[in-house]
Structure 1
């Protein structure tokens, strides 16, 4: 009887572990699929192929790998398969190859970043540079090359259209990483708001971001680069927590304006719109990510120096009472005594 009970308990534990392991994978697949549906809303045709100026699933895939590790790859593959299935009538060998490319690209980006010592806090300049050049611009070459090649092999794209479609595919995947991944990485730092938080400045930044972004992306005047002072403001005052949402807002509004052919994108071909959006969104993401990383790194260095000085002052005070009053930097109680 004891053996039977033990076997039942063991089976239940195995089932629970299996469900616990499957839930994150299914969650990644569901979020990937939903993000793919949103991305396809603003898809454009380049040489007869559907491409997107901003492909959020790549950013979600890389963030999932950074959080969960390699166990997230089945969810990425399943989500990619579901997205592609909505575009084609049947699942063929080229479809499977494209799914493999869409899965391999973020996996390779994750492995390269891990090898380079990437930290998901994005609190160092080297982390920002790594995410840009290794995670986005480098890793997404795989998905663009595999996907475009399969379009040519499957006779859905003439060979002359390879490079225009490849460029559009690569830029859309790279922008997904640059814009979406930092936002998902900063979500782990979300906390309950405090009364001491700079509410007025945050609200002013949010209102200004929406107003200026709408104006810059909807007017035919050359005012698109008015958004950069906002990005700098957000990065200097709120680091990545401010610059990442601001960059996402600007990029989404620019993509909407570009696919509608309004504002500074009016009268351009689809390929020109894709190139302009790639350059603009890339510049926005680079400014937001790298400047926020620099500010965060400098703030951390300053805090460590201040903490070390305070610890040194305490040591001096214990060894020679009264001598620490001349230490640098002066402690708050010393400044009050001087007043």
Structure 2
């Protein structure tokens, strides 16, 4: 299903809304959200609201409920306050990092290597994932809203699969970063991963599942996929490119510290309504009514709270699992 289509009881699909209809729905979400503090309103640009609407197939009340839950999560979790020094221990092995290169569409590329998991703290791992997502958004080109996940399965085995933690991480990604994923490339996944993928695929929105591509280094068709998406001169050698630099924690730390300095200015842009989604700055939680929208026709198992439960501290999470949902709901990433 395309990102602009939605199911209809009569013929299976309905036409995507026109630009005028989109603006009408965006305005309606604004009306339902109500007045926001100035700093929080930076998060609710037209582009941001449109993403939440697309994630809910342009259903205004469902999108509003989802956006309010995301606002509440940001107020409580404060992702924009996470800095490199807070998560450096999670980053040491390069299990997730932002590539120095972008794809041919100008999209930020996050490299994920599940086999390099180095901690057992679920809270710490999710905090690092959130930091990486925020940093990827910070570095998006002005005309881009989505990113690419390049997931390297070298050294990956069954011990790296945790369905319970997948549910936690996928929930945050789907509920708090809707429509941020442009493409997920699974590079050299082991044979046992394909049956696992077939099990979890039905839990994803079809348009999200279609963003996942299996690529094998010894397959010519796969090589063509990579050449179509990336400039091979700047792509890492590990993925068939010509860049031999690889991940260096010291150099990466320098990049991240420099990026951290950009964050305050990122929240004080003069015209936030015309920009892509930006994380909100903190404000008093009771200054916004986050529970005033009811959605009577939403499914009973549809989650709208972004907050992960995070009670378990002993189970490892794999960055490569983050594209998978297992809670029974179908949401778009």
After TM superposition, the score normalised by the length of structure 1 is 0.23
User: Hey, which of these two has a bigger chunk of strand by percent?
Assistant: 2
Which structure carries more relative contact order (alpha carbon 8 Å, separation 6+)?
Answer: 2
Q: Which has the larger radius of gyration?
A: 1
User: Hey, which of these two has a bigger chunk of helix by percent?
Assistant: 1
